Amino acid sequence: MIKVGSLNAVRRDLKPPLRPIAPFWKSVSAHFFPCLRFPDLINGIFGRAGPTLMKTILLTLISIGLTLQLQAQNNGNANVPTQHNEATIAELQAQMRAGSLTSVQLTKFYLDRIAALDQNGTDGGVNSIIELNPDAFAIAQHADELRKQGNVLGPLHGIPVLIKDNIDTHDKMQTTAGSFALFGKPALQDSTVAANLRAGGAVILGKTNLSEWANFRSFESTSGWSGRGGQCNNPYALDRNPCGSSSGSGAAASANFATVSLGSETDGSIVCPGNANGVVALKPTVGLVSRAGVVPISHTQDTVGPHARTVADAAATLSVIQSRTFDGRDPATGGVPLGWQGTGKKRPIDIPTDYTQFVDPNGLKGARLGLTRAGIEGFDSLNPTPQVIIDKFNEAVDKLRAAGATVIDLDAQGFTFPLNGNAEFLVLCYEFRQDVKNYFATRVGVPVAGGTLNTAIQFNRAHAAVEMPFFNQDIFTLCAALAQGANTPQPLFGGLTYNQALKIDHNSGVNGIDAALKKFNLDAVVSFTDNPAWETDLLYSDTGRFYFASSSLAAVAGYPIIQVPATAVFETPMGISFLGTAFSEATLIKLASGYEAFTHVRAHNLPQFLDNTPSTHIQGTNLTTPVQDTDTVKPLDAKKRPAHM
Look at residues 419, 410, 425 and name the one whose alpha carbon lies nearest to residue 549. 419
In the predicted structure, residue 34 carries a pLDDT above the cut 50: no
How far is Cα of residue 376 from the mean position of the Cα atoms in its chain? 20
User: Per mean pLDDT, which range of 48-52, 249-253, 535-539, 567-571 is the poorest?
Assistant: 48-52
Catalytic site positions: 164, 245, 269
Predicted model pTM: 0.87
pLDDT confidence of residue 403: 98
DSSP string, 379-432: S-TTSPPPHHHHHHHHHHHHHHHHTT-EEEETTTTT------HHHHHHHHHHHH
Q: H-helix or E-strand containing 581?
A: none
> What is the mean pLDDT of the segment spanning 257-275?
98
Give the separation between CA 584 and CA 523, rounded to whole angstroms. 9
In the predicted structure, residue 39 carries a pLDDT above the cut 60: no
Q: How confident is the model at residue 74 (pLDDT cuts 50, 70, 90)?
A: low
Give the separation between CA 151 and CA 148, rounded to whole angstroms. 7
> What is the mean pLDDT of the segment spanning 400-419?
97
- Report domain extents, the chain: 4-24+82-347+357-602, 34-73
Q: How many CB atoms lie within 10 A of CB 593?
A: 26
pLDDT confidence of residue 374: 87
CB 157 within 8 A of CB 202: yes
pLDDT confidence of residue 121: 52
Give the separation between CA 579 and CA 558, rounded to whole angstroms. 11
pLDDT tens digits for range 303-319: 999 999 999 999 999 99
Burial of 586 from C-beta contacts in 10 A (0-12 / 13-18 / 19+): middle
CB 560 within 8 A of CB 584: yes
pLDDT confidence of residue 55: 42
In the predicted structure, residue 257 carries a pLDDT above the cut 80: yes
Q: How confident is the model at residue 76 (pLDDT cuts 50, 70, 90)?
A: low
For 573, the 3-state DSSP assignment is strand
In the predicted structure, residue 53 carries a pLDDT above the cut 50: no
- Of 146 and 23, the one with more pLDDT: 146
Q: Looking at domain 4-24+82-347+357-602, which of 3.40.50.300, 3.90.1300.10, 3.40.640.10, 3.10.20.90 is its CATH number?
A: 3.90.1300.10
What does the buried/exposed string (b/e) look like for 464-482 if buried means 16 or more CB atoms within 10 Å of the residue's CB?
eeebbebbbbebbbbbbeb
In the predicted structure, residue 59 carries a pLDDT above the cut 80: no
Sheet holding 203-208, edge to edge: 129-132, 203-208, 160-164, 260-265, 303-308, 280-283, 561-569, 572-579, 524-528, 368-371, 406-409
pLDDT confidence of residue 78: 67
For 522, the 3-state DSSP assignment is coil
pLDDT confidence of residue 546: 73
Q: Classify 124 in phi/psi space as left (phi over 0), alpha (psi -120 to 50) or beta.
A: left
User: Per mean pLDDT, which range of 28-42, 143-157, 607-621 is the poorest?
Assistant: 28-42
> CA triplet 588, 224, 435: central angle to 5 degrees?
70
**% the chain with pLDDT above 90:** 78
How many CA atoms are closer than 13 Å to the CA of 380, on its beta-carbon side? 15
- Alpha-helical (H) ranges within 149-211 are 192-199
Q: How many CB atoms lie within 10 A of CB 365?
A: 12
pLDDT tens digits for range 104-147: 999 999 999 999 999 875 457 999 999 999 999 999 999 999 99
pLDDT tens digits for range 535-551: 999 999 998 787 789 99
Q: How confident is the model at residue 75 (pLDDT cuts 50, 70, 90)?
A: low
In the predicted structure, residue 2 carries a pLDDT above the cut 90: no
In the predicted structure, residue 558 carries a pLDDT above the cut 90: yes
- Of 498 and 380, the one with more pLDDT: 498
